[in-house]
Amino acid sequence: MTDTITRFAPSPTGHLHIGGARTALFCAAYAHGRSGRFALRIEDTDQKRSSEAAAAGILDDLAWLGICWDDGPEANGCGGDDRKVGPYYQSQRREIYDRYFTKLIEMGLAYPAFDTPEELAEMRKAAEAQKKTFIYRQQADYDHAQAMELAKTEGHVLRFKMPAEPVVVNDEILGEVTFPYEELDDLVIRKRDGFPTYHFAVVVDDETMGVTHVVRGQEHLNNTPRHVALIKALGFDVPKFAHLPLIFNPDGSKMSKRDKDKAVRAAVKAAGDVTASDAGVDERDFAKWQKDKSVQLPQDKLVPLAAKLGVELPEIDVEDFRRSGYLPEAIVNYIALLGWNPGERDDEGNEIERFDRAYLDSKFAFDRVGKKASKFDRDKLRAFNFDLIKSMDPGDFVEAWRTWCERYDAALLETLDKDAMLQLAPAVQQRAVTLGEARGPIAFLFTETDTIEYDEKAVKKHVLKGEPAGLDVLRDFAPKLAAIEPFAPEVIEETISSHCQTNELNMGKLAQPIRVAMTGAAVSPPLGITLSSLGKDTVVARVDRFLKFMDA
């Protein structure tokens, strides 16, 4: 029996899209659940749009998600070439493609074509005038020998002579799909620059890498008959195909990288006075981007422009979710449910939705993958993330939090050391849905003392009401604060509690006014850690300011 071999084949033209991550996850799960192998190949035949940095970013995002590949570029502890089927960058496989170009030409199934872009545009226009889709075919009077001679000196592409028969694709998810010959043109398989097109490279690579299952998004379904025709012409084995459902936004539109541009474009329009130089791009590019919905600004221009305009960019790429502070385990668990579910119930009869990778590997098969697009439910992902954060051991949480800060919030690490974060962790874990929101419950640490605003309700309830009033209790205790030494959580708590005991007060009588003075409101992590992380000078200054405010 052939081992199961799947592959994920991203084009390194940008960040890894969340849908790409789901494809990779399903590829890995399908192979690993069958003791097979999962390969990763970088499809960089489009030299203009590809970059090494984008490839590295994709590999990093995959590894971060814990979606490790067995065969492929060695990076982040994943990959390798045990089966000796590399290299895994298409740009390094040109000799392999050349062999198969020669083979197809010799069989009379590929031919050079010399049409200029202008001529092709003319043909397209003529077809459109007749309300037909333009389908390129070899001219009836095409002279092969003459063309081969001309090809030695003239620029040309190589086209595949599409066999005149329908192509049937047997999809593991969608069933049998038939594509009539009339819809399949003689596609370009080698570009003018000598590089193979995606269609050709993918077919040769899947065969030479031993791929048994091609798992990819439904957006590729229309490419598949072209691939099948090529596979058959080359005498390769037809792999199994499984096309995964698309991922939609809640409003039913396709979840696309362009959504980010859309959000910023709308804000630019609303503002009315944003210039190309505000955006950091040249006039023409900016005008084009404003007019044409299919044009995208580079991320390094779009992100700062969004920030300038106060636009919150929709999360689309893995990097976006990573920056927001989702945990990889929560993302992986959530995206596994996009178009698939295990169809099992727990002991209480509830559908099983929370699971780990081992469970996914053991359950994943195509029979439970849907045909229709699935909607991306941000609230559900948030719930997964929050539950995971809450359930984490504080040590593990701080580990994840610090790693996140190293990438996205180095300033926080300058204010808080590991011990302080550990002390704050339980309070943060109860309230932060994502690591990006972890600053929320401890925002008081980062506000300037003289900008604190005191919540009226909290003041009324905890400071003014009662006998004695919180204000008097605080005023009475204030001098003791400065004397606490060392200014450490236990010593602070002990001082507060003994003051309350001596004065026959319950703890809240003193604790709550202190909280209001420190944070403006009556909620904060445990007082000892709240005060020690602010530091004695700040605590004294905040109490002073609050007492003055109350006296005024």
Q: Is 100 helix (H, G, I), strand (E, B) or coil?
A: helix
Within residues 220-259, the interface with ligand GLU by CB under 6 A covers: 220
Q: Is 216 in the site for ligand GLU (CB under 6 A)?
A: yes
Per-residue 3-state assignment (H helix, E strand, C coil) for 30-88 = HHHCCCCEEEECECCCCCCCCCHHHHHHHHHHHHHHCCCCCEEEEECCEEECCCCCCCC
Which tokens in the block code for residue 92? 């390094």
Q: Can you tell me the distance from the alpha carbon of 22 to that of 206, in angstroms, rounded to the nearest whole number?
A: 20
Rounded (to 5) percent helix, strand, coil in the chain = 55, 10, 35
- Given a contact cutoff of 8 angstroms between Cβ atoms, the answer to whether 90 and 352 are in contact is no
Residues near 150 by beta carbon (within 8 Å), at least 6 away in sequence: 112, 114, 156
Which C-beta is closer to ligand GLU: that of 7 or that of 363? 7
Q: How far is the CB of 120 from ligand GLU (least distance, A)?
A: 24
Q: How far is the CB of 424 from ligand GLU (least distance, A)?
A: 42
Nearest-5° angle of CA 254, CA 257, CA 260?
105
Window of 6-14, 119-127, 327-335, 454-462 that interacts with ligand GLU by CB under 6 A: 6-14
Which C-beta is closer to ligand GLU: that of 320 or that of 493? 320
Which C-beta is closer to ligand GLU: that of 218 or that of 249? 218
Q: Is 493 in the site for ligand GLU (CB under 6 A)?
A: no
Q: How far is the CB of 148 from ligand GLU (least distance, A)?
A: 31
Q: Is 171 in the site for ligand GLU (CB under 6 A)?
A: no
Which C-beta is closer to ligand GLU: that of 220 or that of 536? 220
Q: Are strands 213-217 and 240-244 parallel, antiparallel or unpaired?
A: parallel
Window of 9-17, 182-190, 281-289, 538-546 that interacts with ligand GLU by CB under 6 A: 9-17
- Given a contact cutoff of 8 angstroms between Cβ atoms, the answer to whether 489 and 532 are in contact is yes
Binding mask 125-164 for ligand GLU (x = CB under 6 A): ----------------------------------------
Q: How far is the CB of 67 from ligand GLU (least distance, A)?
A: 15
Q: Is 11 in the site for ligand GLU (CB under 6 A)?
A: yes
Measured CA distances, 211 to 8, 220, 332 (Å): 10, 17, 24
In the 8-state DSSP scheme, what is residue 437? G
Q: How far is the CB of 68 from ligand GLU (least distance, A)?
A: 18
Element (H, E) at 472: helix 470-483
Residue whose structure tokens are 């001098």: 479
Nearest-5° angle of CA 346, CA 349, CA 354?
40
- Given a contact cutoff of 8 angstroms between Cβ atoms, the answer to whether 205 and 93 are in contact is yes
Window of 3-11, 245-253, 379-387, 453-461 that interacts with ligand GLU by CB under 6 A: 3-11
Q: How far is the CB of 434 from ligand GLU (least distance, A)?
A: 28
Which tokens in the block code for residue 24? 């990779």
Query: Got the DSSP string for 510-524?
Result: HHHHHHHHHHSSS--
Which C-beta is closer to ligand GLU: that of 16 or that of 432? 16
Window of 7-15, 153-161, 372-380, 527-535 that interacts with ligand GLU by CB under 6 A: 7-15
Torsion of CA 285, 289, 295, 299, to 10 degrees: 80
Burial 214-240 (b: 16+ CB within 10 A, else e): bbbbbebbeebbbbbbbbebbebeebe
Which C-beta is closer to ligand GLU: that of 242 or that of 514? 242
Within residues 18-77, the interface with ligand GLU by CB under 6 A covers: 43
4, 10, 534, 550: residue in contact with ligand GLU (rule CB under 6 A):
10
Q: How far is the CB of 202 from ligand GLU (least distance, A)?
A: 5
Within residues 194-213, the interface with ligand GLU by CB under 6 A covers: 202
5, 9, 229, 496: residue in contact with ligand GLU (rule CB under 6 A):
9
Q: How far is the CB of 198 from ligand GLU (least distance, A)?
A: 6
Which C-beta is closer to ligand GLU: that of 205 or that of 409? 205
Residues within the interface to ligand GLU (CB under 6 A): 9-11, 43, 202, 216, 220
